[in-house]
Amino acid sequence: MPAVSKGDGMRGLAVFISDIRNCKSKEAEIKRINKELANIRSKFKGDKALDGYSKKKYVCKLLFIFLLGHDIDFGHMEAVNLLSSNKYTEKQIGYLFISVLVNSNSELIRLINNAIKNDLSSRNPTFMCLALHCIANVGSREMAEAFASEIPRILVAGDTMDSVKQSAALCLLRLYKTSPDLVLMGEWTSRVVHLLNDQHMGVVTAAISLITCLSQKNPDEFKTCVSLAVSRLSRIVSSASTDLQDYTYYFVPAPWLSCKLLRLLQCYPPPEDGAVKGRLVECLETILNKAQEPPKSKKVQHSNAKNAILFEAISLIIHYDSEPNLLVRACNQLGQFLQHRETNLRYLALESMCTLASSEFSHEAVKTHIETVINALKTERDVSVRQRAADLLYAMCDRSNAKQIVAEMLSYLETADYSIREEMVLKVAILAEKYAVDYSWYVDTILNLIRIAGDYVSEEVWYRVIQIVINRDDVQGYAAKTVFEALQAPACHENMVKVGGYILGEFGNLIAGDPRSSPLVQFNLLHSKFHLCSVPTRALLLSAYIKFINLFPETKATIQEVLRCDSQIRNSDVELQQRAVEYLKLSSIASTDVLATVLEEMPPFPERESSILAKLKKKKGPGAVSVTELDDGKREAGELNGGGDRGPDTAAMAASNASTPSPSADLLGIRSAAPVGAAQTNAGSLLVDVFSDSGPAAPSAAVNDDGFLSSAPPSEDPAPPLSEADELLNKFVCKNNGVLFENQLLQIGIKSEYRQNLGRMYLFYGNKTSVQFASFTTTVSCPGELHKPVEPLVEGGAQIQQVLNIECITDFSDAPLLNIKFSRYGGALQNLTLKLPVTINKFFQPTEMSSSDFFQRWKQLSQPQQEAQKIFKANHSMDTEVLKAKLLGLGTALLDNIDPNPENYVCAGVIQTKSQQIGCLLRLEPNAQAQMYRLTLRCSKDTVSKRLCELLAQQF
């Protein structure tokens, strides 16, 4: 069907396209394409010189093939040749190919630049436009260097054609974005701003994009654009619908230009000049008025164009946030749209109203639409619209309507789409906490949340309800009663069992007076759920049981019976078995007093900000939930948490602190206070570990180094680090245990464990000889000196152990040094210094994320210094499993199905230091053929990217 081709149709191309269209299968299509590629390749390689027409035809075919989704790796040279053609269509195809298929670091750029230079000086406006388009599309550094000084001149020169000016404006914008240092506006500033007055509306349209960008970066230099933009806008808004001829779209004068002008104004605060401001307010009022006028056309294009301007005007009104009258009018207008039959308008109105809700002038006006919004949440057929409705309800929520909104959101949750449930749960939890006036309502809400959407209730949410119950003694009895009732349900969610177990273990006594909830009834109820629960929940329940023994001595026999049975005491899970054994022993041998002290009620949790807010923020990214709003939430959360009115609790807290170290595993998931200790459980930390998912925490006293500080000064300066110290260090980047060093005399083994920003390292010094080492001292410097004594004598063949506690204060590059000195009987003093294998990656917390989250964050970390990249030769096996093991050993999460190329590895993690958290993303691209890797790291801190890149390049 070649006839459809217009103009100087290329017959060969048309035939090829028809062939492709006629292909019956994907395979046939691929076959046809490969045939064509081979044909083109041979034509390009052939001895016969091709004429311009043929080159154009083949390049065009390549473009078409590219569009069908096939990679094109040749033809670039032919495209560049087309640039020097004098025929517009040939030149245009050349430029098109280049802007679609050449990236900015191609080596062809120099050739392309030459062609561009010729076209720019050709004085042929269509050629100039093509050349400018090309610069704007490719925008490489080399192009900026070649043309940045020339473009502004073309842009403002009096004799430049309008269409060239348009292209020049956008071209300059691109160069300014990619190489701002090369684009010096200085002398051109005022003439560029005055393009707003150009009589050609297309020039104004193009120039606004440039001016908007420039005024963001240099607001002061460009502020004259405000009054010019206002007067231009005013002329458009007040023009009759036919005044602007071809720029009128369905009776709306210059809609796109109006939107761009309104957008430019959003870069600045309200105009200070009264006259300008008056004129602008008048414009905005006119726009709002027009929305009420009967439409000039029934066409949807008319109303869409009109409303595009209206929404942009409302954005400006919200941006100014200073004209109560306009804000309320905007709100009323959006209110009308909420019930419009066009889904698009309802969506946009909900979205726009969300920002209006945060203005003090319009917050109340927004609230009047609550019923409509609730209705939207219930009845909208499009999930993205319902999502906007939920966002708006969240934004308009305050103390006055919190109960209604939370109730509606809860009932929506029962049928909500799976994709938005987790976010809804977080929002409900935040609102319930933020606006709780009475805590029984808060407790009810969270328990409802667990009942309705238990799977989506994250740890943060149920940790938080427990924290609040523990900190508020006025709600404890109610909470105990409510969880007891909730647990009666034949099928309850495991999260409910967790909350129930914890709360009854602490406060079951408050409802024990009622025979319907006597201690044994409570215990039997909890235990009836036990067998259906996962290991962590069972562990929690075991802790609740031992608490029961303390609270209610009458349950002791029953509970001991349970603990004693084989399924507990011989449980194949070590954690459960250990708890059963220890709790059984504790309950049998400890006196009532000891038991009471050990199992004291949990002390109030220290005031911390709620982590569920942080989680929501993380989920939505900074754009959706504003940062300031979150601060607001935190403050109110603190208030709820009980602040100073804790009165009677304080004493109890002090008392119990003696035996129960402050809860280490963290309710708020921020950091734990102590590293995981040795395998022995400290009775004092019984319930502390309820929150932690691995092992009991050691009491903080054991971590204290103070008592070990030695006063003996080292007798000799430590030796400089061994030459192989770095190499030894590198062995431990991806593993935690092993032999750090070995020579004929001494072997140093290491076992270490890390958690959050804390670590503990066991060093084993083995004497390989048969004679004693005397005056054995070790010193760790990092960089200040910490001197740790070990047993000064190491017998022949013996091994001594040393424990180091490590806290990562901030990110670091240099590993701490370990100096060891000792003298061997009859030998010289040995003095050697090693690098302790403590590297920044040890403090990684793995982060699982979806592909979209990953790429969003990858993009957010786009500043050049945040990225570190290395291409290096493989030093070790490139086996998949080996690589995976190494990447896991690194401490990050190894994410599957993220990278479109399954050969590549993608990891994510957060480095925990005391002062901050550093997010890191990693991508490792192996090239098995070349035996090479490309490693790319993006971290929120540039020094970390660099350091990790250095460390890791040694590992593969």
Partner 1 sequence: MEPSRLKERPAADRRMIKFVLMVNRQGQTRLSRYYHSVELSRRAALEADVVRYCLSRKKDQCSFVEYKDFKVVYRQYAALYIVVGITDSENELSIYELVHNFVEVLDKYFSRVSELDIMFNLDRVHIILDEMIQNGHIVETNKSRILAPLTAIDKMVES
Binding positions are: 11-12, 43, 53, 57-61
Verify binding: residue 297, partner 1, rule CB under 8 A.
no
Verify binding: residue 60, partner 1, rule CB under 8 A.
yes
Name residues contacting partner 1, limited to 875-934 (CB under 8 A). Answer: 900-901
Residues in the chain, how many? 956
Which tokens belong to 775?
């005056």
Verify binding: residue 817, partner 1, rule CB under 8 A.
no
Q: Which of 257, 424, 551, 817 binds partner 1 (CB under 8 A)?
A: 257
Report the 10 Å Cβ neighbour count for 655.
13
- The interface mask with partner 1, positions 845-884, x = CB under 8 A, is -------x--xx--x-------------------------
Residue with tokens 């404006």: 169
Q: Which is nearer to partner 1, 282 or 398 (CB)?
A: 398
Q: Which is nearer to partner 1, 278 or 622 (CB)?
A: 622
Verify binding: residue 242, partner 1, rule CB under 8 A.
no
Query: If DSSP codes are grouped into helix, strand and coil, which group holds residue 2?
Result: helix
Verify binding: residue 40, partner 1, rule CB under 8 A.
no
Cis peptide leading into residue 783 (ω within 30°) = yes
- The interface mask with partner 1, positions 574-593, x = CB under 8 A, is --------------------
Report the 10 Å Cβ neighbour count for 743.
11
Verify binding: residue 137, partner 1, rule CB under 8 A.
yes
Shortest CB 661 distance to partner 1, Å: 39
Angle (CA) 824 826 828, round 5° = 60
Half-sphere exposure of 326 (CA within 13 A, CB side): 23
Q: Which one of 114-122, 380-388, 577-585, 706-714 is the stretch in contact with partner 1 (CB under 8 A)?
A: 380-388
Size of the site for partner 1 (CB under 8 A): 99
Angle (deg, nearest 10), helices 418-434 and 383-396: 10
Cβ(600)–Cβ(656) below 8 Å: yes
Q: Beta strands 758-767 and 773-781: pairing type? A: unpaired
Q: Which of 34, 51, 88, 876 binds partner 1 (CB under 8 A)?
A: 88
Verify binding: residue 781, partner 1, rule CB under 8 A.
no
Q: Which one of 253-261, 563-571, 798-806, 911-919 is the stretch in contact with partner 1 (CB under 8 A)?
A: 253-261
Which whole-number Å values give the CA distances from 175 to 111, 115, 134, 139, 222, in the listed order?
Answer: 19, 18, 12, 6, 18
Q: Which of 33, 131, 136, 817 binds partner 1 (CB under 8 A)?
A: 136
H or E segment and range at residue 93:
helix 88-101
Q: Which is nearer to partner 1, 83 or 170 (CB)?
A: 170
Q: Which of 25, 42, 103, 199 binds partner 1 (CB under 8 A)?
A: 103
Rounded to the nearest 10°, the torsion over CA 889, 895, 899, 903 is 50
Q: Which of 33, 37, 40, 63 binds partner 1 (CB under 8 A)?
A: 63
Q: Which of 156, 213, 413, 613 binds partner 1 (CB under 8 A)?
A: 213
Q: Which is nearer to partner 1, 245 or 744 (CB)?
A: 245
Verify binding: residue 312, partner 1, rule CB under 8 A.
yes
Report H helices in 370-417. 370-379, 383-396, 402-413
Residue 825, C-beta contacts closer than 8 angstroms, at least 6 positions apart: 771, 772, 774
Cβ(802)–Cβ(790) below 8 Å: yes
Give the residue among 947, 886, 941, 942 at the shortest CA–CA distance from 924.
Answer: 886
Q: Which one of 86-94, 146-154, 698-706, 942-950 is the stretch in contact with partner 1 (CB under 8 A)?
A: 86-94
Residues pairing with 748 in the sheet: 741, 765
Report the 10 Å Cβ neighbour count for 103.
8
Which tokens belong to 839?
């590297």
d(CA 112, CA 133): 13
Query: If DSSP codes are grouped into helix, strand and coil, which group holds residue 893?
Result: strand
Cβ(832)–Cβ(718) below 8 Å: no
Angle (CA) 380 382 384, round 5° = 110
Hey, what amino acid is at 635? R
Verify binding: residue 307, partner 1, rule CB under 8 A.
yes
Which whole-number Å values give the CA distances from 858 to 69, 577, 666, 883, 941, in the listed order?
Answer: 25, 43, 29, 22, 13
Q: Which one of 130-138, 232-240, 569-577, 733-741 is the stretch in contact with partner 1 (CB under 8 A)?
A: 130-138
What secondary structure does DSSP assign to 756-822, as a single string?
TTEEEEEEEEEE-SSS-EEEEEEEEESSSEEEE---S-B-TT-EEEEEEEEE--S--SSPPEEEEEE
Shortest CB 468 distance to partner 1, Å: 24
Shortest CB 556 distance to partner 1, Å: 55
H or E segment and range at residue 873:
strand 867-873
Shortest CB 126 distance to partner 1, Å: 6
Which tokens belong to 777?
């001292």
Shortest CB 72 distance to partner 1, Å: 8
- The interface mask with partner 1, positions 14-33, x = CB under 8 A, is x--x---x------------
Name residues contacting partner 1, limited to 338-377 (CB under 8 A). Answer: 343-344, 346-348, 355, 358-360, 363
Verify binding: residue 212, partner 1, rule CB under 8 A.
yes
Verify binding: residue 249, partner 1, rule CB under 8 A.
yes
Query: If DSSP codes are grouped into helix, strand and coil, which group holds residue 911?
Result: strand
Q: Which of 76, 133, 886, 938 binds partner 1 (CB under 8 A)?
A: 133
Shortest CB 893 distance to partner 1, Å: 20
Q: Which is nearer to partner 1, 350 or 840 (CB)?
A: 350
Verify binding: residue 218, partner 1, rule CB under 8 A.
no
Verify binding: residue 69, partner 1, rule CB under 8 A.
yes
Cβ(263)–Cβ(312) below 8 Å: yes
Give the residue among 648, 696, 653, 650 at the shortest CA–CA distance from 673.
Answer: 696
Q: Which of 65, 82, 98, 206 binds partner 1 (CB under 8 A)?
A: 206
Q: Which one of 90-98, 283-291, 705-713, 816-824 is the stretch in contact with partner 1 (CB under 8 A)?
A: 90-98
Q: Which of 274, 490, 623, 713 binds partner 1 (CB under 8 A)?
A: 623
Q: Which of 19, 142, 221, 321 binds partner 1 (CB under 8 A)?
A: 321
Verify binding: residue 183, partner 1, rule CB under 8 A.
no
Hey, what amino acid is at 772? Q
Q: Which is nearer to partner 1, 348 or 894 (CB)?
A: 348
Name residues contacting partner 1, limited to 109-128 (CB under 8 A). Answer: 126
Q: Which is nearer to partner 1, 151 or 758 (CB)?
A: 151
Residue 784, C-beta contacts closer than 8 angstroms, at least 6 positions apart: none
Backbone angles phi, psi at 438, to 5 degrees: -115, 140
Shortest CB 293 distance to partner 1, Å: 18
d(CA 764, CA 748): 5
Q: Which is nearer to partner 1, 4 or 491 (CB)?
A: 4
d(CA 508, CA 510): 5
Verify binding: residue 107, partner 1, rule CB under 8 A.
no
Q: Which of 205, 779, 802, 847 binds partner 1 (CB under 8 A)?
A: 205
Q: Which one of 453-461, 487-495, 628-636, 782-790 is the stretch in contact with partner 1 (CB under 8 A)?
A: 628-636
Q: Which of 47, 71, 293, 566 binds partner 1 (CB under 8 A)?
A: 71
Q: Which is nearer to partner 1, 17 or 496 (CB)?
A: 17
